Amino acid sequence: QSVLTQTPSASGTPGQRVTISCSGSSSNIGSNYVYWYQQLPGTAPKLLIYRNNQRPSGVPDRLSGSKSGTSASLAISGLRSEDEADYYCAAWDDSLSAVVFGGGTKLTVL
Amino acid sequence: EVQLLESGGGLVQSGGSLRLSCAASGFIFSSYAINWVRQAPGKGLEWVSGISGSGGSTHYADSVKGRFTISRDNSKNTVFLQMNNLRAGDTAVYYCAKAYYGDYTPDYWGQGTLVTVSS
């Protein structure tokens, strides 16, 4: 059971906007930055969003992150077939003194 | 360009030991925490351990505490994970992951090394 909670699956059609949520607690999301990763099959995770809503260079602006209280979300607009992947959220947890991950959301582009 | 190259994975019997290495380049190594994150076959990401830039602070997941030891050699830009008393449940791809500055949460990831523990 993951400390951060994500919906196991999400889907959308090309061009649509989808949102992936991540729920935590006051000791992790509530008091620390949230990070988001994309993992394509057979590859290492890739950073999409850091410090709640910042995009690394090379990540398109159709991806955005937000945080409110103990929850965070990743929005992908203008959905493309290449967005089909697993997405994970993560944050530092002050009580556990550990990095905690969500269980991952498998995004399917229909 | 940040590069992280893991090595040392392989097949080991239950109760055995392995030492993973992560060779880093492309950034000021001693300024950043480094993590080990694992992924069991078909499962999600699980943080295993992290070490501060100086090496003076280390953290472990409860699942590995007392069995795994993380260390680093800043003169060689390398981080190690000594894994003892390995169990079947430790079977996973182990990723080395550089932390974002001032945090432990990862930004850059290596390609991973597979550890298989046979029972």
Q: Which residue carries 């059971």 as its tokens?
A: A1
Of A56, A97, A101, the CB nearest to B46: A101
* Other CB atoms within 10 A of residue B104 CB: 25
Average pLDDT for chain B: 97
Residue B108's pLDDT band (cuts 50, 70, 90): very high
Residue A23's pLDDT band (cuts 50, 70, 90): very high
Q: Quickly list DSSP for B56-118.
A: --EEE-TTTTTTEEEEEETTTTEEEEEE-S--GGG-EEEEEEEEPTTSSSEEEE---EEEEEE
- Using an 8 Å Cβ cutoff, are A87 and A74 in contact? yes
Searching chain B, which residue's CA lies closest to the CA of residue A41? B42
Residues of chain B contacting A33 with CB distance shorter than 8 Å: 103, 105
Test B47 with A98 for CB contact under 8 angstroms: yes
Q: What is the pLDDT of residue A19?
A: 98
What confidence tens digit (pLDDT) does each residue in A26-38 have? 999 999 999 999 9
What confidence tens digit (pLDDT) does each residue in B27-55 have? 999 999 999 999 999 999 999 999 999 99
- Using an 8 Å Cβ cutoff, are B40 and B91 in contact? yes
Query: Which residues numbered 43-102 in A keep a CB inside 8 Å of some CB on B?
Result: 43-47, 50-51, 56, 86, 88, 90-92, 97-102
Test A44 with B103 for CB contact under 8 angstroms: no
